[in-house]
Structures are given as C-alpha cells and as structure tokens.
Amino acid sequence: MTQPTPKRKTQYLAGICASLTFLFTGASSAWPSPALPKLKSETSLVDAQLSWIVSLTTIGGLPGCYIAQVLQERFGRKNTIFASAVPNIIGTSIILLTTRAELLYLARFCTGLGMGMVAVVCMIYITEIADKEVRGSLGMLIQVMMNLGLLTMYSIGPFVSYKTLNTLCVCLPVLYVVATVWIPESPYYHLKDGRVAAARKEFMVLKGVTDEKWVDEQLGIMRAHVRESMENKTSMKELFTNLRYRRALYITAGLKFLQYMTGSFAIQSYLELIFRQSSSVSGPLASIIYGLVQFTTGIAATFLTRYFGRRVLMCTSSLGVGISLTVVGTFFYLQDCAKLSPESLASISLMPLIGILGFNILYTVGIGNLPYVMQTELFPINVKTVASSTATMSACVFTFVVGKSYQFVKDSLGHYSVFWIFASVAYLGVFFVYFCVPETKGKTLEEIQDMLNVKHLEEAQALRSPPVTPVVEVDE
C-alpha cells in the first residue's frame, strides 16, 4: 500500500500551543533574577529567605508530578494541561498581592506544583502526537518557549516595577489555557482505554489524511503495542522491579542528573547577581544578552535535531557546557583566590560573560531539552506517565539541591567551586551519553520499544545461561 504523505500542519500547531505551557515555566524560573534585587532593596528579606523563595518551586514540583500522573491517566493529556493553570494562577496572584516571606513561600510552592504538572504532561503529549520525522523538532519547541519566557523576564523585569512584573506572570497561564482549548487529544490516551473510534478520529486530524485503509493499518500497529504494554502493571513498584524497564530507567536517571546538576536552574535564578559580581557589563544588560542568545539558539536547535542524532548533540553539548563552566570558575578563582590586580581583572572581565553565554548555547542545543524528549521515548505507554512523573520528581530533587546549595557552597568554598562542580558533572556526562545512551532519532515509538526489548531479552538470556565449564582433555 502506498503511504500517503501526512500533512503535519495540525501537529505543528498543536505542538506550539502545548509548548506555550513552558513559556510560563521559563518566566517563573527566571523570575528570581529581576525580582530578588527588588525584594532586597524594597523589603527586609534576608539571603536565607530569598534562597527559599528561589528553591521552593522545586519542592512544589514533587506533588505536581504525581498529580499530573493521575490526572492524565484518568482525564487525558489535554485536560491535565488545563488543570496545571490553576496552581500557576493562584501562585502568581499571591506574589502580585504581597511581599510577606511566608506567603511568598506558599506562592512559589504553588507555581512549582503547576510547573511539575506541565513538565510531566507536555512532553508526553507532544511525543505522542508527532511523527517520528518531526518528533525531535517539536520536542525542542519546549526549550524555545522556555527560553522565550526567560528572555521576557530578563528583558522586561529589571526595568519595570515589582507589581508590573508579577502582573505579567499572572497573564501567562491564562494565555496557554486559551491557546490549548482547540488541540486534539492524544490517540494513545484513547487507545489505552479501548476507545478506538475516538483514537481514529484524533489520528486522522493529526495526520491530515483521509486514506482510511492506511489509517486503519497504522492504528492496528499502535493498538498492538498499546495492548501488549497495557497487559503489564503500571505501578511505580512495577517500574522499579521489572527488569524490562531497567535500561530505560538508568538512562533517564543519568540524563536528568546531567541536565540539572550542571547548574542551569541556579544560573538562571541568580544570573543578574552573578554578573553584578563579575563583569564589566551591567547585570540587566548581560541578562538580556543571555536570554536573547538562549532564545535564538533554541530555535536553531529545533533544526539541528533533524540532521544530527540525539547522542551527537548531547555529547557535544555536555563537553561544551563543561568547558564554559570551567572558564567562569577560573575567573572567580583569579578574582577571589589569586587576588589579581584591578587592572589584570579588567583585561579578562569578559570571561564570565563569554563562559555563561557558551554554557547557554551549548546547554540549549543538547542536554537542556533532549532528556525531556528521551524520557518519553524510552518507556512504553503502560508505564509512560509513571516513568515521566518519576523522572520529573528526580529533576525537582536535583534542582532543589542546586538552587538551595548554591549560596551555601558559594559562601563556604568560594564562587569558583560552584562552577567547577557543575563543570565536573558535565565532563562525566560526555562518557555517560557515549557509552550508555541509545540513538532514537528516526524511530517510531513502537520501534524504540522493539529495540529496547531486544536488548532486554539479550540481557535476560545472558543472566539465565549457565556458565560454560571448559573441557580439559587428560592424556591417558
């Protein structure tokens, strides 16, 4: 049968609208950069309180991940996106109305809850609606939208009042709810519960085809894999105890560790303060440059994923991140420990800017987003929501550790130690990606599961096979 050419307009539009959820995530992640200087100057909040304000979003993300896991299984991916706006609107409204520390803690917890829900459901939705040829590019839209949110905060935040800044934050979740009203539901969600007619309808809309025979053939392949997957249990216990998921688990855990323990959250949150302490370029201006570079790089990365494999991009990204962070750490070492003269420091004052921008570019094209794509590619549908929720919970823990310990490590061991620790994680990541991470570019979700199942069967056979005892011939 001749395969019709899919018309992917709906896939692109749905992917763009769904990824708008990360516009809020990016803005909320970058919010501390312009907001902390305002809070320090306009209130009596101290550094310890400010560090909790920065990091409590990650604590809120933990229950958010679990809530999203439950909601998208019962009510669908689309409705879970709608539900994520509720805590986001509540949190940003509280921030708009008060500067009291305890209420700011609650507000940041609420926004973290919504961000955790978004992180679980959005990438699952995009990977399930996208063709294999464009899945990587559509997945990278999340990074583009997150970068746009960061750029918005960095560009507007330093130059407007605290109230205006937070009014903008309230509007963003309302925007993504309005934008996602029309998007189709994932066919996989309907197939999971046996609603074949509903899945067929959504599939035809997403593919933009009218060839019913081809649609039935493709749905048959999808149904077979979904049926096989759903025969297994879907609990978190099953995820960790069933050997067939072991390889996907350690790959995902390693990628999330690499993605977050290289310090992206801390750098984004403390960006303006970092540049105030190091660069001849003003903090607000450097932040705008950072956000603009990150945004344009994110757009370029959506095209790179169509020509280069996941492994190539992540290896290159991890190595570049390590080198860039080493440069930043070296500057702070020369400034704080070697005590270079002001004249010498002036001659290398652009090192932090160059290093941070290098980190920005290399992080964006690889480890900043591809782990999101792969965490939803590697697991079958019966454990996909549980696995994605678990992966995002681990990311929340890593992010909390980075965000909360940044100030402590900086004060105790020196600013350079922070960046050299981040760099060490990035260097280790190169070896992890090269030796442990499979290539998934150009494969359907069903083909990826077949590939992993073959590897699982080979490993299981090796464990079951008894050791071969060599036969020694004895001369009579």
Query: Going from the N-terminus, what domains does the chain have, and what CATH number goes with each?
Result: 9-183+232-458 (1.20.1250.20)
Q: Report the mean per-residue pLDDT for the chain.
A: 83
Rounded to a whole number of angstroms, the distance between the first and last alpha carbons of the chain is: 68
Any idea what the Cα angle at residue 21 is, between residues 85 and 363, rounded to 5°? 140
On whether the pTM is more than 0.85, the answer is no
H helices of 308-439, where? 310-336, 342-347, 351-365, 370-377, 381-413, 415-436
pLDDT computed for residue 229 by the predictor? 67
Question: Residue 431: is it exposed, middle or buried by C-beta count within 10 angstroms (0-12/13-18/19+)?
Answer: exposed
pLDDT of 467 higher than 60: no
148-167 pLDDT, tens digit per residue, is 898 888 888 888 998 999 99
Whole-angstrom Cα distance, residue 236 to residue 83? 23
Cα(85)–Cα(205) distance, integer angstroms = 26
300: CB partners within 8 A, 6+ apart: 365
Model confidence over 251-305: pLDDT tens digits?
A: 888 999 999 899 888 887 777 777 776 655 666 777 788 888 878 887 777 777 7
- Secondary structure string (H, E, C) spanning 69-83: HHHHHHHCHHHHHHH
Q: Which pLDDT score is estimated for 348?
A: 82
Pick the residue with more confidence: 225 or 368?
368
**pLDDT band at 390, cuts 50/70/90?**
confident
Q: How confident is the model at residue 465 (pLDDT cuts 50, 70, 90)?
A: low
Q: How many CA atoms lie within 13 A of 79 on its CB side?
A: 10
Question: What pLDDT is attached to residue 346?
Answer: 80
